[in-house]
Amino acid sequence: MLLDRNNYHLFQPLLYQVATAGLEPEQIAKPVRAILRGQKNFDFRMVEVTGVDFAQRRLATSGGPISYDFLVLAHGGETNFFGLDSMMKHGLGLKDIGDAVTIRNHVLTCFEQAMLETDPERRRAKLTFIVVGGGPTGVEMAGALSELIRLVLVKDYPRLNIKDVRILLLEATDKLLASMPERLREAAGKTLWRKWIDVRFGATVADFDGEQIRLKSGEIIPAHTVIWAAGVRAAGLSARLGLPTARQGRIAVEPTLQVQGHPDVYIIGDAAYGEQNGEPLPMVAPVAIQMAETVARNIARALHNKPLQQFRYHDQGTLATIGRNAAVAHVFGLNLSGFPAWVMWLVVHIIQLIGFRNKLFVLLNWAWDYFFYERAARLITRD
Amino acid sequence: MLLDRNNYHLFQPLLYQVATAGLEPEQIAKPVRAILRGQKNFDFRMVEVTGVDFAQRRLATSGGPISYDFLVLAHGGETNFFGLDSMMKHGLGLKDIGDAVTIRNHVLTCFEQAMLETDPERRRAKLTFIVVGGGPTGVEMAGALSELIRLVLVKDYPRLNIKDVRILLLEATDKLLASMPERLREAAGKTLWRKWIDVRFGATVADFDGEQIRLKSGEIIPAHTVIWAAGVRAAGLSARLGLPTARQGRIAVEPTLQVQGHPDVYIIGDAAYGEQNGEPLPMVAPVAIQMAETVARNIARALHNKPLQQFRYHDQGTLATIGRNAAVAHVFGLNLSGFPAWVMWLVVHIIQLIGFRNKLFVLLNWAWDYFFYERAARLITRD
């Protein structure tokens, strides 16, 4: 039985394209019941899990208690604002469909409001877009935002002075895409600059009140939009389990992915904390997928009283796209940048999308946008 | 200059397909700026018009005052609950994208909650769906809802007892699709019955508290979903213009579509009240489109001091679809039902959708759903 508070599976790596009006939310999500329709022994309940009674082997949920024999917790991650209250209030995270649609509406509304604004300073503030975090999410978001504005919105707003538009990417360290080799990091930085994105290193955010952002250095930048891609942590459920948490609220698991002292409970994905070669496992989708495979095998082995396997992560590399024809790829021992990396990015993401229909519609959308310099989903659907 | 509180044009006739998870909102809407990009002398402002000062020729808007030489008011219609407060609060209208997504989320949530419900009476109430109003919107909505449930959701919910599901269509008079000839009205009624829709004539709603609906007859039906398709009226702005209003809050216009006493102000669409052959003009899209053409010509004539044309509505007929292979069409003097009417409905609606991309994606969606008995957009995106 699968429990989830949403009725769909979301392909998070393309969320930033929903946020920049390139894809429609329905194209990167698929109803859980549709995905697992063929499984005769499968049941789904749309509930929110609020706690676990490990002794009684029972979950507390919004739909009443549910008992289990084996429990796999895969409740994932959420945006980590690192306790920065002002950012939690005014910043825009990017972890679910609601977040992505909120960013889309907000960015487009800024342009509409800028057209009504007579004061040039206030207009420039409305047209200043700040992305915080130089990991893959921040880099992809900044690149897509730049293309949305410079390839598409310029045509929508013939009275817009493009010199009023600023996009900044703030990174607290001195590295973009820290997990990539240096050559690709440099390539990514250059590509961002070529897209008129002002990349700032050593830039730590101190405060954001919705109208201006203040950096630790004392610098103040008037801006109405801050997209926060600077961190993830384990989702809230982790803190309510009564288990000791490690970094980012994650729960340490045994090498078999079992919870210490509860051999019938497994944790996988962003919520699980494990180490490999002395390094913490990254909070990325490939780790979660490979963990799921190990747990499935381990539960089968437990049922047959066989010894359990230890989890080993096989790092297949990292990919990040920075717009048309531009990406960096560190995969299968290869280091690619530019067009070859971009093609690899396309292929890998289309393959991983669940369902033929989603693959088809996303491909069509990409082809359309590529050839016509368009983003069809640029609707402001709510405030 | 075009003013609108939304940044997109919405093709309302397909809204019911968004509400039943068949289409994605982005596929039946197109950004205004994209539609009119080619027009060099065109400007758009996303504002809400709050009033008109006819003497000063000035609009009051959420973005400040805007002056005009000629004014065309095309603010359209909204759901008319006929002062039924309980329905305004608990009933679901269907006039914009937000309404459609709300219905989709609500219907799918009812199914998820029904699966958690152990009390059979409460489960049946959650699975009882009531559509009020036997006009084209109500008929199309009921038909699409029945197909969503009986062709698609049954596969999603293998533990669902389909006998627990009820769909009712309540009509206050003794006619469905009153503007159609009798033969087609009968055909529509039969098709609805064949889709297990319980069509009730002479059924007037007295009250709905979110858990049960009470009819004037005293009958009480436990149901958690009431979709209100029983009426439209002119949108709220009409009442704030200080002009005398006719039926449904519409404003009576001269045969030239000018407002009496204000020759530089025109009203078109659902907000305008006109009569032809002693009958009020219906509140439908073809009237609005033809009125727009007349007003465009009249403004050009006024600028050249030529006499203005009188508006004449050319009724091209009515179409309503009731699901796969089934529709009724009263067009070009022809009365069609069943498959030929359905094909005509498809062709007419694809032609009228704005933009080649929308046409392509809607056609692909329809083909996919037709052959695979699917509705891809069945996500519950918010509460």
DSSP assignment of A94-136 equals: -SSHHHHHHHHHHHHHHHHHHHH---HHHHHHHTEEEEE--SH
Sequence-distant (≥ 6) Cβ neighbours of residue B204 within 8 angstroms: B170, B172, B215, B216, B217
Contact B199, B189 (CB under 8 A): yes
Q: What's the ipTM? A: 0.91
What pLDDT, on the 0 to 100 scale, is given for residue A8? 96
B98–A381 CB contact, under 8 Å: yes
What pLDDT, on the 0 to 100 scale, is given for residue A333? 85
pLDDT band of residue B104 (cuts 50, 70, 90) is: very high
- Residue range B108-116: average pLDDT? 96
Contact B31, A379 (CB under 8 A): yes
**Annotated active-site residue in A140, A211, A293, A374:** A140
Q: What fold, for B85-230+317-372?
A: FAD/NAD(P)-binding domain (3.50.50)
User: Nearest 5°: CA angle at A372, between A366 and A374?
Assistant: 70
What pLDDT, on the 0 to 100 scale, is given for residue A40? 87
CB-nearest partner of A37 from B7, B156, B358: B156
CB-based contacts of A49-52 (< 8 A; 24+ apart in sequence): A49/A3, A49/A5, A49/A75, A49/A237, A50/A237, A50/A240, A51/A240, A51/A241, A52/A241, A52/A265
Interface test with B, best of A17, A30, A33 (most B CBs within 10 A): A33
List the structure tokens of B356.
Answer: 């080649």
**Spatial separation of the C-alpha atoms in residues B278 and B255, rounded to whole Å:** 13
Set of chain B residues whose Cβ sits within 8 Å of the Cβ of A377: 26
Q: Which residue of A has its CA nearest to B112?
A: A46
The secondary element (H helix, E strand) that includes residue A207 is: strand A205-208
**Chain B closest-CA separation from residue A345 CA (Å):** 24
> Which one, of A192, A187, A150, lies nearest residue A171 by Cα?
A192
Q: Strand pairing partners for A101? A: none
Number of CB pairs, chain A paired with chain B, less than 8 A apart = 109
Q: Which residue of A has its CA nearest to B65?
A: A116
pLDDT band of residue B357 (cuts 50, 70, 90) is: very high
**Spatial separation of the C-alpha atoms in residues A176 and A202, rounded to whole Å:** 11
Q: Strand pairing partners for B335? A: B330
**Spatial separation of the C-alpha atoms in residues A49 and A52, rounded to whole Å:** 8
- Determine contact: A362 vs chain B, CB below 8 A: no
CB-nearest partner of B34 from A31, A47, A156: A156
**Annotated active-site residue in B78, B140, B147, B171:** B140
Q: Is residue B379 helix, strand or coil?
A: coil
B116–A63 CB contact, under 8 Å: yes
What pLDDT, on the 0 to 100 scale, is given for residue B316? 87
**Spatial separation of the C-alpha atoms in residues A188 and A176, rounded to whole Å:** 8
- Determine contact: B139 vs chain A, CB below 8 A: no
Q: Is residue A176 helix, strand or coil?
A: coil
Q: Strand B66-67 relative to strand B77-79: parallel, antiparallel, unpaired? A: unpaired
Set of chain A residues whose Cβ sits within 8 Å of the Cβ of B34: 156, 374, 378
Domain ranges of chain B: 47-79+233-303, 85-230+317-372
Tens digit of each residue's pLDDT (9 = 90 or more) over B30-50: 999 999 988 889 999 999 999
Set of chain B residues whose Cβ sits within 8 Å of the Cβ of A97: 379, 381
Residue with token string 């499984």: A39
**Spatial separation of the C-alpha atoms in residues B105 and B99, rounded to whole Å:** 10
Q: Which residue of B has its CA nearest to A108?
A: B7
Each of the 383 residues of chain A gets a pLDDT tens digit; together they read 999 999 999 999 999 999 999 999 999 999 999 999 888 899 999 999 999 999 999 999 999 999 999 999 999 999 999 999 999 999 999 999 999 999 999 999 999 999 999 999 999 999 999 999 999 999 999 999 999 999 999 999 998 999 999 999 999 999 999 989 999 999 999 999 999 999 999 999 999 999 999 999 999 999 999 999 999 999 999 999 999 999 999 999 999 999 999 999 999 999 999 999 999 999 999 999 999 999 999 999 999 999 999 999 999 888 999 989 999 999 888 999 999 999 999 999 999 999 999 999 999 999 999 999 999 889 998 75
pLDDT at B383 over 70: no
pLDDT at B209 over 60: yes
What pLDDT, on the 0 to 100 scale, is given for residue B149? 97
**Spatial separation of the C-alpha atoms in residues A304 and A364, rounded to whole Å:** 47
- Indicate the pTM of the whole model: 0.94
What pLDDT, on the 0 to 100 scale, is given for residue B376? 87
B379–A29 CB contact, under 8 Å: yes
Sequence-distant (≥ 6) Cβ neighbours of residue A170 within 8 angstroms: A130, A131, A132, A133, A134, A200, A203, A204, A205, A215
Sequence-distant (≥ 6) Cβ neighbours of residue B40 within 8 angstroms: none
> Which one, of A382, A378, A363, lies nearest residue A154 by Cα?
A378
**Chain B closest-CA separation from residue A278 CA (Å):** 40
Contact B224, B211 (CB under 8 A): yes
Q: Which of residues 308-347 of B touch A (CB under 8 A)?
A: none
**Spatial separation of the C-alpha atoms in residues B223 and A191, rounded to whole Å:** 57
A24–B29 CB contact, under 8 Å: no
pLDDT at B368 over 60: yes
**Spatial separation of the C-alpha atoms in residues B35 and B11, rounded to whole Å:** 13
- Determine contact: A65 vs chain B, CB below 8 A: no
Residue A140 annotated in active site: yes
- Determine contact: A165 vs chain B, CB below 8 A: no
**Spatial separation of the C-alpha atoms in residues B145 and B140, rounded to whole Å:** 8
At the top level of CATH, the class of A85-230 is: alpha beta
Sheet with A205-208, edge to edge strand ranges: A205-208, A212-215, A220-222
- Determine contact: A367 vs chain B, CB below 8 A: no
What pLDDT, on the 0 to 100 scale, is given for residue A196? 96
**Spatial separation of the C-alpha atoms in residues B178 and B134, rounded to whole Å:** 8
Q: Which residue of B has its CA nearest to A63?
A: B116
Set of chain B residues whose Cβ sits within 8 Å of the Cβ of A380: 6-8, 46
What pLDDT, on the 0 to 100 scale, is given for residue A376? 87
- Residue range B118-131: average pLDDT? 97
Interface test with B, best of A10, A381, A382 (most B CBs within 10 A): A381
Q: Is residue B298 helix, strand or coil?
A: helix
Q: Do domains B47-79+233-303 and B85-230+317-372 have the same CATH topology?
A: yes
The 10 Å Cβ neighbour count of residue B223 is: 21
Contact A87, A208 (CB under 8 A): yes
What is the C-alpha end-to-end distance of chain A, expressed in Å?
Answer: 37
Tens digit of each residue's pLDDT (9 = 90 or more) over B283-329: 999 999 999 999 999 999 999 999 999 999 999 888 999 989 999 99
**Chain B closest-CA separation from residue A111 CA (Å):** 10
CB-nearest partner of B376 from A26, A159, A379: A26
Residue with token string 């994650």: A250
Per cent of chain B over pLDDT 90 is: 93
A112–B377 CB contact, under 8 Å: no
- Determine contact: A382 vs chain B, CB below 8 A: yes
Superfamily (CATH H level) for A47-79+233-303? FAD/NAD(P)-binding domain (3.50.50.60)
A31–B157 CB contact, under 8 Å: no
